[in-house]
Amino acid sequence: MIIERIDTYPCLYELPTPYGDANGYKKYRSCYLIKITTCSGIEGWGECIDWLPTLDVGFRERIIPYLIGKNATDRIKVSKVIKKWHQRAATAVSMALTEIMAKATGLFVCQLWGGQWHERIPVYASFQTYQESADWTKHSLQIVSKAVAEGYSMAKVKIGGRTVKEDQAHISLLQNELAKSMSFALDANQSYDVATICEWQSLLQKWSNIMWIEEPLPMERINDYALLRAKLPVALAGGENILNVKPFLGLCQQGAIDIAQPDPMHEDGIDGYRHTLETMRSIGVRVSPHVFDGGLSRLYALLAQACLPPWGKMTGEEIEPVEWDVMENPFTEMISLRPVSGYVTIRQGVGIGVEIDQDLLAHYRWDGRMYQA
């Protein structure tokens, strides 16, 4: 089980039409995959996201030399060392070593983790709402309507990137056309203050199909979150950039959120991510993972969700939904796993149960040039 080789796959796709949220526009999508191979020929894949030049130098000059010769069974110890250099790189290594361990024992990853509770997982269509065109609301209605036609019954759309009046007109348009077919989460990307999000209160009281408000304020404003949670008639969700379970515990203990949203790319490796899920479940807090970037990370979020005990505290919700990026992004196609009527069926097999499309990785391989952020 000695690590013998690490191959890297930096990939870049420049978007012909930028789209975005309250933080600005995305002009490209990227991913950075690694493949770790042991001396016995067992392979495991991992994924992370960051500025590609930084990741490439970090892996070639520091992480790969460190990993060569290490035992793949030392997954947690190795990941903790790499985390000191680069948090997301540690998650990629953790993924790859988890798959290697599952293959070495002839098990599916869910079996390695103690077994599945769920054969299929609900997903919601995740949109980047804004475009630079004047008719962005019309375009938003078109792509959300397309998701309804494809069988989605839940969607996340953005607020906070326009004036409150414009955003309210946009969400009202979606509600007028699609309220009978779709439930919505509204994601402000930490762009509001308390007074501004309270301008939504009358509409939120009128709409019965709002699943949650996501990160309306900067996440460090815990007292304000607790205040909002007492005022607003919908659930509060957040935590995609939180790095481990401890801050989530603080948010929950102070009554700041209803739904925790850890992201497998941002946590202390896959083991730390699962620890967050299980801890939140043990204290009675819902967990709906954030996984907008990365097809492999999304797969691990689905597998981890499949191993969570049923929620069982709300009628009709056995397990919380996982985010599903429906925007233009070729890297979500690297794994041939698709929702049907808003659910993804977990494919069992040795390791992660699916193969990575290496032809796609080769097609979009980054050529080393600088690109516009």
9-39 pLDDT, tens digit each: 999 999 999 999 999 999 999 999 999 999 9
Q: Exposed/middle/buried for 367, CB within 10 Å: 0-12, 13-18, 19+?
A: exposed
Quick one: average pLDDT of 138-147? 97
What pLDDT is stored for residue 20 in this prediction? 96
147-198 pLDDT, tens digit each: 999 999 999 999 999 999 999 999 999 999 999 999 999 999 999 999 999 9
| pLDDT at 106 exceeding the cut of 80 | yes
Residue 238 binned pLDDT confidence (cut-offs 50, 70, 90):
very high
Distance between CA 113 and CA 116 in Å, rounded?
8
Cβ–Cβ contacts within 10 Å for residue 193, how many? 12
What pLDDT is stored for residue 315 in this prediction? 61
| pLDDT at 317 exceeding the cut of 80 | no
280-301 pLDDT, tens digit each: 999 999 999 999 988 999 999 9
Question: Average model confidence (pLDDT) for the chain?
Answer: 95
243-276 pLDDT, tens digit each: 999 999 999 999 999 999 999 999 989 999 999 9
Active site residue 266: no
Q: What is the CA radius of gyration of the chain?
A: 20
One of 83, 86, 156, 158 is an active-site residue; which one? 158
Q: 12: which residues sit within 8 A by CB, 6+ positions away? A: 28, 29, 30, 52, 364, 366, 371
Which run of H or E residues covers position 5? Answer: strand 3-21
What pLDDT is stored for residue 264 in this prediction? 95
What pLDDT is stored for residue 313 in this prediction? 66
Angstrom CA distances, 136 to 128, 132, 143, stand at: 11, 7, 11
Pairing of strands 120-126, 343-345: antiparallel
33-62 pLDDT, tens digit each: 999 999 999 999 999 999 999 999 999 999
Q: Return the amino acid letter for 286.
A: R
Show the tokens assigned to 6.
């690490």
One of 103, 156, 266, 290 is an active-site residue; which one? 290
Helices in the chain by DSSP H: which ranges?
Answer: 52-58, 64-67, 75-83, 87-104, 109-112, 136-149, 164-178, 194-197, 201-206, 222-231, 245-253, 269-282, 295-306, 358-363
Distance between CA 2 and CA 72 in Å, rounded?
6
Determine the straight-line distance between the first and last CA of the chain, rounded to whole angstroms.
39
What pLDDT is stored for residue 372 in this prediction? 73
Active site residue 158: yes
What pLDDT is stored for residue 314 in this prediction? 60
What pLDDT is stored for residue 318 in this prediction? 87
| pLDDT at 97 exceeding the cut of 70 | yes
| pLDDT at 312 exceeding the cut of 80 | no
- Domains of the chain by range and CATH? 3-107+356-363 (3.30.390.10), 111-345 (3.20.20.120)
Burial 274-295 (b: 16+ CB within 10 A, else e): bbbbbbbbeeebbbbbbbbbbb
Q: 64: which residues sit within 8 A by CB, 6+ positions away? A: 6, 8
